[in-house]
Amino acid sequence: MIKLVRVDHRLLHGQVAVSWFNTLGANTILIVNDAVAGDELRKSAIRLAKPEHAKLVMKSVADSIASINSGITDKYDMLVVVENVADAKRLIQGTEGLITDLNLGGTKPRANTKSYAKTINLSEQEVQQLTDLQNLGVQVYIQQVPSETRQVFKA
């Protein structure tokens, strides 16, 4: 069962590994990212941030979609982390309505981005992607840590 899908450009770090993982009662972290799936050095670095009792899986977007749709992941309580909005949209649209909420946790400032919250910086294209998801019924919200109040994303 998917407990949370989170966009965080840092992928796995202390805040995600400890705060969200424990609060959700998750037992598995799924990192969904094409670049990480094929990069052993990045995988090694990410493994260092894994909570002690967590199962950690790192897959491409396509492989993640296939695994979720097959039902093989149903036995896990998963925290799913993607690096960017585009990957989140691909994952959500590819998983046949199984993901109904999207947590925006961190997107770094880049050229041509606008700040929507302290840790959320989005391009026009990303705003459109999030709006598309909202139009499909996905609840998109900003919440950096579990103790903060959810803030509904508004374009």
pLDDT in tens, 81-112: 999 999 999 999 999 899 999 999 999 999 99
pLDDT in tens, 62-88: 999 999 999 999 999 999 999 999 999
Task: Quote the pLDDT of residue 17.
Answer: 80
Mean pLDDT, to the nearest integer, of 28-36?
97
Average pLDDT, the chain: 95
pLDDT band at 16 (very low <50, low <70, confident <90, very high): confident
| Distance (Å, whole) CA 79 – CA 4 | 5
Structural domain for 140, as ranges: 2-152
Contact criterion met (CB below 8 Å) for 7 and 102: yes
| Distance (Å, whole) CA 130 – CA 1 | 23
| Distance (Å, whole) CA 67 – CA 55 | 15
Strand partners for 4: 79
| Distance (Å, whole) CA 40 – CA 44 | 6
Residues contacting 107, CB < 8 A, separation 6+: 7, 9, 84, 85, 113, 119, 120, 121, 122, 126
Domain CATH number, residue 38: 3.40.35.10
Residues contacting 149, CB < 8 A, separation 6+: 143
Residue 15 has pLDDT above 80, yes or no: no
Task: Quote the pLDDT of residue 52.
Answer: 87
Domain count, the chain: 1
Task: Quote the pLDDT of residue 81.
Answer: 97
